[in-house]
Amino acid sequence: MELKRHTYADPIVSYIKKGILNGTYKPGDKVKELDISKKLSISRAPVREALQVLIKEGLVVWIPQKGKFITKLNPKQVKDSYFTGGVLEAAAVSRALQLFTEKDISKLTELTEKMKEIADGKESANKIAELDDKFHQILFSRVDNDFVVEFCRRSCQGLSKFLFFKYWINMYTPHEVYLRHKVIVEAIKKGDATALEKQIRSHYFDAGERMSILSANEE
């Protein structure tokens, strides 16, 4: 896949994402280009570009004649998003199963072992999100379909890691996180595409059910 090109908008993207995580920006809040440019002492051009990136990622929506807003989803939309992303990732990764190398499998195994260390209380639970990101990056690395990868990241990863991070981080116990990823690795090791697709679908479907219930608190 093509490497990401860094732009002047990248720091602003990170700034807004950090604001979503710490609660400065909440779902439904209006995002004003002028306010951000003044606060960061920069021109509006990179801010405008950053917002376009976030619109593409699904974290910001543009409403004609009203402006740009942090995405706000109702529980059904959250559930539907996870369902769709889960179906696509499961199908794409299982189809690419034969492309996974021993090095890929070794990295996935190492990540699950680190999750187990967290479950056993040997490491900080704050590392869970980073490990989960790396795990799915490896899965996506063998998918030769940029459209599917982009849609999956938009429909699930962005939602859970930013809009609903405060819920996502507590949705499963560390031990549950470890087991949820371990079964995926086991299916890859066995070369069982059917089991792999089933495990990834289940991974997202269950998360979508839980997240839709928790996100109802945002209503």
Specify the CATH number for 10-70; select among 3.40.50.2300, 1.10.10.10, 3.40.50.720, 3.40.50.1220: 1.10.10.10
Tell me the per-residue pLDDT of 19-59, one tens digit each, with 9 for 90 and over: 988 889 988 999 999 999 999 999 999 999 999 999 988 89
- The 3-class secondary structure across 58-89, one letter per residue, is CCEEEECCCEEEECCCCHHHHHHHHHHHHHHH
In angstroms, what CA-CA distances link 23 with 27, 115, 138, 165? 9, 27, 30, 10
Question: Quick one: tokens of 159?
Answer: 């939602």
What pLDDT was estimated at residue 218?
Answer: 59
CB count, 10 Å around CB of 130?
11
> Are 25 and 19 within 8 A, CB to CB?
yes
For the segment 123-146, the average pLDDT, to the nearest whole number, is: 90
Coil, helix or strand at residue 9:
coil
| CA-wise closest residue to 87 among 156, 144, 178, 137 | 156
User: Comparing 9-13, 14-18, 131-135, 158-162, which segment has the lowest mean pLDDT?
Assistant: 158-162
Tell me the per-residue pLDDT of 59-97, one tens digit each, with 9 for 90 and over: 999 999 999 999 988 899 989 989 999 999 999 999 999
Compute the distance between CA of residue 51 and CA of residue 33 in angstroms, rounded to an integer.
8
Coil, helix or strand at residue 32:
coil
What pLDDT was estimated at residue 125?
Answer: 79
Tell if the pTM clears 0.85, that is, is over it: no
Tell me the per-residue pLDDT of 171-211, one tens digit each, with 9 for 90 and over: 899 999 999 999 999 999 999 999 999 999 999 999 999 99
CATH class of the domain defined by 75-218: mainly alpha
Q: What is the CA radius of gyration of the chain?
A: 18
The residue extents of the domains of the chain are 10-70, 75-218
